[in-house]
Structure 1
Amino acid sequence: MAAFIEAMWYQSALKGKTRIAYYLLWPLLWPLSQLFGVLSRRKRNQYTTGKKMAYRAPLPVVIVGNITAGGNGKTPVVVWLVEQLLAQGLKPGVVSRGYGGKAPHYPYFVESDTNTDIAGDEPVLIRRRTGVPVAVAPARSDAVKLLLEHDVDIIITDDGLQHYALARDIELVVIDGQRRFGNQHLLPLGPLRESCQRLNQVDFLICNGGKAHTNEAAMHLAPSELINIKTGARCAVTSLTSVVAMAGIGHPPRFFATLNTLGVKPVVCQPFADHQPFTHQTLLELAQQGQHLVMTEKDAVKCYSFAEDNWWYLPVDAVISEPQASVIIKRIIEVKEKYGSPSA
């Protein structure tokens, strides 16, 4: 089913029975897509016209989101923003919906040892990678209010472009530079959460991979050394032989392509659904098809409690082109200065 949806949304490999199924489903999906658009626009208009009141935090709020369903590199951008702002002497905190987690209560403060079953993959990754305060809640304003108790002076949200109940100062949209916007239809006929016209209203567009357009900041993900999940040891990617690769992210082929670019030809490439939980037995059986199991950092945060000696992950860092990167940080600092200090 996932492969069919991918083909339908991005018009790839629509052949034979897949192509027939696509055209049979079109009369059903098109009106649903139109209805989704009506409801989406109505929801946004309720907040932009003041019919519903959005929560305005006493600190600047920066949204890192997208207009398409699925992964496109938002979390690496959040990590990049956090690291850049820390270097400027600011104290950022991160909020997230915590998708895939079931916390005992909301809002929930993510500790360094919080399990992904509780907080979700991305919040745990961000907390472990950056060390900054992270809070999750379906109502992101609740997560923001919790972070106000933890000495932060700026809020970054991982996703949430369409969460209009939270007022924001700056919006960054991350675009998958390879797949772009697919067939440019709204869900469920296409991958769009909002129409492409929404891009004209955001502050910055960041193109992850592919060829950036003139109004977009070019970005790529730069991998570093492999890190052993169990021991923390590091090694060069090409030093491992007979690699089994796995990825439970929004677009697994991107990870497999990265390994190929680095000169690694896995004996097996196993995609999983985004946010899919793993069991020790499932991954153990997968790893036995080679000598080493290599995964994404997002997958690794779900495996710390049961990782084997030959399980590794490949961390990546967002690299955003200049001068756009500096313009983004300068703009955020300017907004922060208008708010003054938290006690002001």
Structure 2
Amino acid sequence: MSVAQLIQNAWNRQAKWLIVLRPLSCLYHLGFWVNQKLYEKGIKAVYTAPVPVMIIGNITVGGSGKTPLLIHLVNYLQSQNVRVGIISRGYGGKGPFPAYVGLDATPDQVGDEPCLIVQSTGAAMAVGSNRQQSIELLLAKHELDLIISDDGLQHHALARQLEWIVLDRNRGLGNGKLLPEGYLREPKSRLNTGTVIEHAAQPETELNMHLEVATPYLLNAYESRTFDPKQDFYAVVGIGFPQRFYRTLESLGVQQFQCHEFPDHYDYDLTDLQFEDTNPIITTEKDAVKLLPILKHHPDFNREIWVVPVEAVLSSACYRVLNQQLADLGISIE
């Protein structure tokens, strides 16, 4: 087990031994504060795009549901004739950057989440660590009303007009400590500065969302087959918070599955999909983007791989707030 996975497991358990990492958390906090002040005082340059920028992010390490939320918002805005583009860091991609993400882009070039986002929305998207370059690349190709940044809440070099912060109520804020003692990227007081979207099945606030699960489909389908939750599965996942996926499987009636966890944005190879028996694999849409190229290179691979699709469902208050926020920026919703 890697050190990163060890710490991730300790965060999920809120292990008491994490206190030994507190000095490092203090250093992290100091460094983060100094960096923020350098931007605030103009010592470090902040780029302001010629069109409004909306950031969808979180203050925790690991999954919170922001990617399904982003996909849903982009599809909604497109249905309202808002010309929206997307930027992202492109974690896991090798570039070169900035890179435009077309439908033919591959995860090893631009990262898994950008591929999933473009396949799900068809929106214009560019990735790279330099957000200014990504925005300029988009605007050179498209006329846009709004740019949405997938993550980047802590990227102070980019000015933004809107911030939506996804808070996964199931996972919460853990032990409430900053990295690496806890999994907070910023102090929890940061939630007071943006629009917080509560991700919960039984929300406590008006602005909330949950993930609705659709019927699983076969990634390597050669014929129509019906999903059978009574099978024994290998749950292969490389996401930030795999426990959410396991709960999703249970909600589908899947009871027998062996967990095979990999780091977030993991670069799979064929050996990761090989087991002694012929039981099927079940995975997420994000992982499926990385697995599909393997299947194309190995057409003789005959183990079933089932994919569980999810879609963000937003409360009516989310649309009301979003529409008002966009109107304040001069973007009308039809």
- Could you state the TM-score of these two structures normalised by the residue count of structure 2? 0.89
Q: 1:183 to 1:63 in 2, by over 3 A?
A: same
Q: How much has 1:303 moved relative to structure 2?
A: 1.5
CA distance, structure 2, for counterparts of residue 157 and residue 260 of structure 1: 32
Q: Which residue of 1 aligns with 2:127?
A: 136
- Could you state the TM-score of these two structures normalised by the residue count of structure 1? 0.87
Q: Is 1:337–2:331 an aligned residue pair? A: yes
CA distance, structure 2, for counterparts of residue 91 and residue 4 of structure 1: 43
Q: Which residue of 1 aligns with 2:141?
A: 150
Q: What SS is found at the alignment partner of 2:177?
A: coil
Q: Is 1:117–2:119 an aligned residue pair? A: no
Q: 1:266 to 1:141 in 2, by over 3 A?
A: farther
Q: Which residue of 2 aligns with 1:342?
A: none
Q: Is 1:88–2:76 an aligned residue pair? A: no
- 1:99 partner amino acid: Y
Q: Is 1:26–2:35 an aligned residue pair? A: no
Q: Which residue of 2 aligns with 1:261?
A: 251
Q: 1:266 to 1:282 in 2, by over 3 A?
A: same
- 1:67 partner amino acid: I
CA distance, structure 1, for counterparts of residue 224 and residue 68 of structure 2: 20
Q: Which digits, 9 at most, give the CA deviation of each residue in 1:292-326, with x for residues without a partner?
A: 21110000001112334521211111111122333
Q: Given that residues 227 and 234 in structure 1 are in contact (C-alpha distance below 8 angstroms), is that contact kept between their aligned partners in structure 2?
A: no
- 1:275 partner amino acid: H
Q: Given that residues 229 and 255 in structure 2 are in contact (C-alpha distance below 8 angstroms), is that contact kept between their aligned partners in structure 1?
A: no
Q: What SS is found at the alignment partner of 2:331?
A: helix
CA distance, structure 2, for counterparts of residue 226 and residue 232 of structure 1: 15
Q: What SS is found at the alignment partner of 1:303?
A: helix
Q: Which digits, 9 at most, give the CA deviation of each residue in 1:48-102, with x for residues without a partner?
A: 3333331111111000011111111111111011011001101211100001111
Q: Which residue of 1 aligns with 2:197?
A: 206
Q: Which digits, 9 at most, give the CA deviation of each residue in 1:13-36, with x for residues without a partner?
A: x4xxxx5xx1xx634x21211111
Q: Which residue of 2 aligns with 1:53?
A: 45
Which of 261, 266, 276 is the equivalent residue of 1:276?
266
Q: How much has 1:259 moved relative to structure 2?
A: 0.8
CA distance, structure 2, for counterparts of residue 52 and residue 32 of structure 1: 24
Q: What SS is found at the alignment partner of 1:162?
A: coil
Q: 1:289 to 1:245 in 2, by over 3 A?
A: farther
Q: 1:167-316 maps to which residues of 2 (within 5 A)?
A: 167-202=159-194, 204-209=195-200, 211-214=202-205, 217-231=207-221, 237-238=227-228, 241-283=231-273, 285-286=274-275, 289-307=277-295, 308=301, 310-316=304-310
Q: Which residue of 1 aligns with 2:298?
A: none
Q: Given that residues 178 and 209 in structure 1 are in contact (C-alpha distance below 8 angstroms), is that contact kept between their aligned partners in structure 2?
A: yes
Structure 1 residue runs without a partner (length 5+): 339-344
Q: 1:264 to 1:239 in 2, by over 3 A?
A: closer
Q: Which residue of 2 aligns with 1:67?
A: 59
Q: How much has 1:336 moved relative to structure 2?
A: 4.2
Q: How much has 1:234 moved relative to structure 2?
A: 7.0
Amino-acid identity (%): 38
Which of 5, 8, 19 is the equivalent residue of 1:6?
8
CA distance, structure 2, for counterparts of residue 128 and residue 257 of structure 1: 25
Q: Given that residues 55 and 166 in structure 1 are in contact (C-alpha distance below 8 angstroms), is that contact kept between their aligned partners in structure 2?
A: yes
Structure 2 residue runs without a partner (length 5+): 296-300
